[in-house]
Structure 1
Amino acid sequence: MSRPMRKSQAVAGVAGAGIVAAGGVAVTARADRPVRAALIAAAAGVAAWAAFAPRNPLFGRVAWRGSVTGERMAITFDDGPSESTPAILDALGDAGARATFFVLGRQARRFPDVIARMAREGHQIANHGDDHGILIFRGPGHVRRQLRLCERAVEDAAGPGAMSGLFRAPHGFRGPATWPAARAAGYRMAGWTTGVFDSAEPGVDVIVARCNPAMRPGSVLLLHDADGWAPERSRPQTAAALPGILALGRERGLEMVTMDELLGTAL
């Protein structure tokens, strides 16, 4: 059986497709109009960059960092919940830390009790869409449906109002319709400061070491508590690494808060 695609492979693959597409524009443009071809190719390249760069504001403003002068940062988890999430919640509870979980609707339907626990224990539940599908080439109707299905699954599990107003697109990839559709549905776009590719399962000690530079005021750390490509898979390495990650924060006097608490009214 083949292994599910890793996040780094997905990022490289989709970004590569965008670069190829941008280059293709120049190739198919008329050879007797080189300036026009160059301008079109440049515009296509900028659009590809905006789609694949999680912090790029061209396709809408994205929250990816809080104040660097305080003593707070945010740890976030994508793609869950899964069988690893209860252990993650245990570690957060033991440390008195709060986190933000960008959940998938399909996973919320599989683990409603875990969603209810997130809400009960004071964590922020945020929208990651329903099925982890890439949104770059999707229209506003599809984006709204992804948001709505996830929101409904969360509120079925944890009650009305359990879903917060943050949305992180799968892989951070956004198309021209993503931000307007999310905003019309009442959501703000969220990114991150540092991702450590824990989804590649490099080992517990490696995950903790990669997080070390990110443990600073205002940082938004991206981790994963499930696998967006394989709904049945969990993230035991991330769960096992979390106590060490939280210890790094304590050593630096950092309070672990939700993204809403970190950002305030920044967006």
Structure 2
Amino acid sequence: MHASHRPPRHPRAWLPLLLLSQAAVAWLWWRWGWPVGLPAMLATHAVAWWGVLAPNAALYGPVLSRLPIADRDVWLTIDDGPSDQTAAILDLLDAHDARATFFLVGERARARPDLVREIARRGHGIANHSATHPQARFWALGPRRMRAEIEGAQHELRNITGSAPRWFRAVVGHANPFVSAPLRDARLARVGWSARGFDAVERDVARVVARIERDLAPGAIVLLHEGAPHGRSVEMIAAVLGRLEALGYRAALPE
């Protein structure tokens, strides 16, 4: 599974495509006027926005959305911690003999370093989920702030555990043209998902589990959260673990 770890190699590969597309738009506008030029411009802008907003879009750099395996293994990923619920989630994972990767927020890790070390001690993965989790504006961060978010979390997690994370998940799954350069420099690979239940906002446990189950397959990357405002994250993770067992899936790490 190590082949799945693909940090960006060419963080500005999108730039020639952007320049070429806009040159083509300008030519179309000059040749046939706005009835052709305007739709062409809107289409190219739509593609650029798709690269920002679609969680598994690889326009601005590679993103892993599924593990290339045939075994009935899935990768459980738990975002937004550490939190008051981390200890209970660790006990659940132990009870089900399951492994997960915790995508942690740097400032929250700094406030709860013992929980971070406990995650690692119990054999789970620790990954980078930004320094401050700027949910409303991550998609719009400029190059300096984007680098600070990625490198800040990397610094905190490395100081706490002694090891640098290898995986990164963008906040809300959004990316932009400035995400790949700091990922390349930190040797971080971006991770999306292939199965989600909207557990951060949905209160109904059964609906969350049903949505995830619809997308389960060998190598699925399952998106879960801890510390959701509705307070039911532990219950939801317990239900997902139970359903995975019933369906014959094993929650394992990609390393």
Which TM-score applies when normalising by structure 1? 0.77
Instruction: Return the letter of the residue paired with 1:93.
Output: D
Decide whether the 8 Å contact of 1:78 with 1:226 is kept in 2.
no
- Pick from 241, 244, 262 the counterpart of residue 236 of structure 2: 241
What is the aligned partner in structure 1 of residue 176 from structure 2?
175
Contact 2:197/2:210, CA 8 A, preserved across alignment? no
- Correspondent of 2:252 among 241, 253, 257: 257
Are residues 1:144 and 2:147 paired?
yes
- The whole-number CA distance in structure 2 between the counterparts of 1:42 and 1:241 is 40
Question: Residue type matched to 1:250 in 2?
Answer: E
Q: Which amino acid aligns with 2:174?
A: F
Mapped partners of 2:182, 2:152: distance in 1: 14
- What are the Cα deviations for residues 212-258 of structure 1, in whole angstroms up to 9, with x where unaligned? 2233311111011135xxxxx5x631211222211221222222112
CA contact 1:249–1:255 (8 Å) conserved in 2: yes
Q: Could you tell me how far apart the structure 1 residues matched to 2:111 and 2:233 are?
A: 20
1:84-103 per-residue CA deviation (whole Å, 9 max, x = no partner) reads 11111110011111101111
- Name whichever of 163-172 and 133-142 sits farther off: 133-142
Correspondence for 2:132? 131
1:157 counterpart = 2:160 = yes
What displacement does 1:183 show?
1.5
Question: Once superposed, which parts of structure 1, at least 4 consecutive aligned residues long, lie more than 4 Å away?
Answer: none
**Amino acid in the other structure paired with 2:146:** V
Equivalent residues in 2 for 1:67-216 (5 A)?
A: 67-133=68-134, 134-158=137-161, 160-161=162-163, 163-216=164-217
Aligned to 2:6: none
Matched residue count: 224
The secondary structure found in structure 2 opposite 1:221 is strand
Root-mean-square deviation over aligned CA pairs: 2.1
User: How far apart are the structure 2 equivalents of 1:36 and 1:241?
Assistant: 49
CA shift for structure 1 position 115 = 0.6
Residue of structure 2 in register with 1:265 after alignment: none
- Give me the whole-angstrom Cα distance separating, in 1, the residues matched to 2:59 and 2:206: 37
* Gap runs ≥5 in structure 1: 1-28, 228-232, 262-267
Percent identical residues: 32
- Per the alignment, in what secondary structure is the counterpart of residue 129 of structure 1? coil
Task: Spell out, residue by residue over 1:138-167, the C-alpha distance to the aligned partner (whole angstroms, 9 max, x if none).
Answer: 233222211221122223332x21x32111
Q: Are 1:135 and 1:178, in contact at CA under 8 Å, matched by a contact in 2?
A: no
